Amino acid sequence: MLKLIDLDFSYDDIKILKNINLSVNRGEKIALLGDNGAGKTTLFLCLNGVLKYNGEIMYNGKRADTKELRKRVGLVFQEPDVQIIATTVEREISFGPMNMKISKAQVKERTDRAIKEMDLESFRKRAVHYLSGGEKKRVCIADIIAMDSEIVLFDEPCAFLDTKNALLLEGILNKMSEDRTIIVSTHDMDFAYRWADRFIIMEKGSIVADGGIEVFDTDHVEKPMLWQLMKMQGVKDLRRYPRSIKEYGEMYNG
Amino acid sequence: MEHKGFMAIDHYAYSSALNNISSLYKVIFFTAALIYSLVADSALVSLFTVVSMAYITVCMGKIKLSFYMRVMRIPVIFILLSVIAVAVNFSAVKTGYFNISLGRVNIFVSPRSINDSIRIVIRAFGALSCMYGLALSTPMADIIDVMRKLRLPEIIIELMFLIYRFIFVLLDTVENMTRATVSRNGYSGIRASFYSFGNIAKNLLLYSFKKANNAYDAMESRGYEGRIAFYSEDSRVKAREIIFFILYFTVMICLS
């Protein structure tokens, strides 16, 4: 679906991204892991066409230009106050579709759909500066839903959220992944381990590991709690590694 | 939650019962009332404007009377100061009322200057109540939308949108910075206060540059190509609102 070939990005002669080669397939749930400064956000900005990169990004076998990338790939920024530029929820969500030069009826239809999907109906006319952090995050996600992006990138989606809102967001991510490809950059290993099918680990601008839960066997990344528990119990077969407490209960307590 | 100053006005504008009336109608109504009360130059018209606008804002808009009185009080000091300049005259000879002699110069007020001052106060309050009527019934975002409909230059409209949006973000940041400074005794003396204030101002400037860059990236990521456009629907003007408009201005014309 999306293929990155020898992607490089430099800022003031400092290489931020080095020789990134990556394939993203339809319907995947990918966690992008790595320390601060590893290049995760920069990679997202390149994938969305905001930053000018060297190398190639292919979409369905064809070279994708900036316009194509912005249409196909949506980016939910880490800080809602950076992403939200409009004054009310409805105006904010309509901003992306309005830029797509589609008819007003289509803009309204997309805005209404995104508002419904993110359960924001009661906030429609509300000023964004009176929303809580969790509500702002939902508005940011609705922004991207309204753009009908096939691939959605989430930059640190759980940042600034309390446990309740983080769990709510996880539910939203699961629902969204039913018909979209989702890539999430996160420091929360337990969340990544529980949610993703594929893990990509970045270090100093390069991809150092890419695969299933076996990537946690490398030294590049901190280990999730459940992973550590299974290691302590001496379980060697990765197929017997539960991905959630619920799964753990089902697997080991009958 | 208690809102202060500009935040409070913004909050009441969103919660006003008049919020669901067409913004274009409200802008035209309040602006026309403002212009007419100034042009008519009649104390009766101005008095009618003050009372009727208070009724529209407080009773029809369901804004707290105590809040309305509080915001009306803010410009009183400025108005009174300007009125003193009109009311008080200077003369070389003793004349008028309340004559105070300061050597060769006499300070006095005359019946005419008192009359002029009262007229100015009422006119100023009339105009002010129209402005507050608009500000407390129509959110800034809707007013900007109306300006766009009235074909104001696009650059002004976009700047207004962005300034309005980021005022709240920056206010939040200033509040957090100030709290962090206070928690470290940053305002414990005049010297420390100056130092802290300077640092907050400097950091806020740098922060706003960074925020502006990030916001631009976020806009680009959603296809921004030089024009900020949003979808918004204005309410339709109802027949009773048109009747109210006609009646209101008929009364004003009759009073002038």
Tell me the three state secondary structure of residue A161: coil
On chain A, the residues whose CB falls within 8 A of the CB of B168 are 129
Cβ–Cβ < 8 Å for A61, A9:
no
Query: Which pLDDT does position B162 carry in this prediction?
Result: 87
What digits encode the pLDDT tens for the residues B65-117? 999 998 888 888 888 888 888 888 888 777 777 777 877 888 888 888 888 88
Residue A240, token pair as written in the block: 């017997």
Longest dimension (CA), chain B: 74
- With CA atoms as reference, the chain B residue closest to A46 would be B221
Query: Which pLDDT does position A131 carry in this prediction?
Result: 92
- Residues of chain A where predicted confidence (pLDDT) is lower than 70: 254
Cβ–Cβ below 8 Å for A87 and B161: yes
**Among candidates A85, A94, A97 on the partner chain, residue whose Cβ is nearest the Cβ of B215:** A85
Cβ–Cβ below 8 Å for B221 and A111: no
Cβ–Cβ below 8 Å for B11 and A48: no
Q: From CA A124, how far away is CA B132, in angstroms rounded?
A: 25
Query: Which pLDDT does position A67 carry in this prediction?
Result: 87
Using the Cβ of B228 and the Cβ atoms of chain A, whether some distance falls under 8 Å is answered with yes
- With CA atoms as reference, the chain A residue closest to B213 would be A82
Query: Which pLDDT does position B227 carry in this prediction?
Result: 86
Cβ–Cβ < 8 Å for A120, A128:
no
Cβ–Cβ < 8 Å for B18, B60:
yes
Tell me the three state secondary structure of residue A60: coil
Is the pLDDT confidence value at B186 over 60?
yes
Query: Which pLDDT does position B107 carry in this prediction?
Result: 85
DSSP state of A223: P
What digits encode the pLDDT tens for the residues B139-182? 888 899 899 889 999 899 989 988 888 888 888 899 999 999 99
Using the Cβ of B215 and the Cβ atoms of chain A, whether some distance falls under 8 Å is answered with yes
Q: From CA A145, how far away is CA A111, in angstroms rounded?
A: 9
Tell me the shortest Cα–Cα distance from B233 to chain A, in angstroms. 10
Query: Which pLDDT does position B2 carry in this prediction?
Result: 55
Amino acid in position A228: Q
Amino acid in position B172: D
- With CA atoms as reference, the chain A residue closest to B3 would be A130
- With CA atoms as reference, the chain B residue closest to A100 would be B223
Instruction: Provide the number of CB pairs (under 8 Å) joining chain A to chain B.
Output: 98
- With CA atoms as reference, the chain A residue closest to B164 would be A87
Cβ–Cβ below 8 Å for B211 and A82: yes
Cross-strand pairs, A181 = A151
Cβ–Cβ < 8 Å for A9, A42:
yes
Query: Which pLDDT does position A34 carry in this prediction?
Result: 93
Cross-strand pairs, B102 = B105
What digits encode the pLDDT tens for the residues B38-63? 999 888 999 999 999 999 999 999 99
Tell me the shortest Cα–Cα distance from B212 to chain A, in angstroms. 8
DSSP sequence for chain B: ----HHHHHHHHHHH-GGGGS-HHHHHHHHHHHHHHHHHH--HHHHHHHHHHHHIIIIIITT--HHHHHHHHHTTHHHHHHHHHHHHEEEESS--SEEEEEETTEEEEE-HHHHHHHHHHHHHHHHHHHHHHHHHTTS-HHHHHHHHHHTT--HHHHHHHHHHHHHHHHHHHHHHHHHHHHHHTTTTSSHHHHHHHHHHHHHHHHHHHHHHHHHHHHHHHHTT--S-------PPPPPHHHHHHHHHHHHHHHHH-
Positive or negative torsion for Cα A153, A155, A156, A159: negative
Tell me the shortest Cα–Cα distance from A119 to chain B, in angstroms. 19
What digits encode the pLDDT tens for the residues A224-242? 999 999 999 999 888 889 9
Cβ–Cβ below 8 Å for B139 and A127: yes
Residue B65, token pair as written in the block: 């009377």
Amino acid in position A41: T
Query: Which pLDDT does position A44 carry in this prediction?
Result: 95
Tell me the three state secondary structure of residue A235: coil
- For residue A202, give the H/E element and its range: strand A198-203
Cβ–Cβ below 8 Å for B221 and A130: no
**Among candidates A95, A111, A130 on the partner chain, residue whose Cβ is nearest the Cβ of B222:** A95
- With CA atoms as reference, the chain A residue closest to B208 would be A82
Percent of chain B residues past pLDDT 90, beyond the cut: 48
On chain A, the residues whose CB falls within 8 A of the CB of B232 are 88, 90-91, 94
Query: Which pLDDT does position B5 carry in this prediction?
Result: 62
**Among candidates A70, A84, A88 on the partner chain, residue whose Cβ is nearest the Cβ of B141:** A88
Cβ–Cβ below 8 Å for A126 and B161: no
Q: From CA A10, how far away is CA A217, in angstroms rounded?
A: 31
Cβ–Cβ below 8 Å for A77 and B168: no
Cβ–Cβ below 8 Å for A130 and B14: yes
Cβ–Cβ below 8 Å for B161 and A129: no
Query: Which pLDDT does position B59 carry in this prediction?
Result: 95
Domains and CATH numbers, chain A: 2-222 (3.40.50.300), 223-254 (no CATH)
On chain B, the residues whose CB falls within 8 A of the CB of A86 are 141, 161, 165, 230
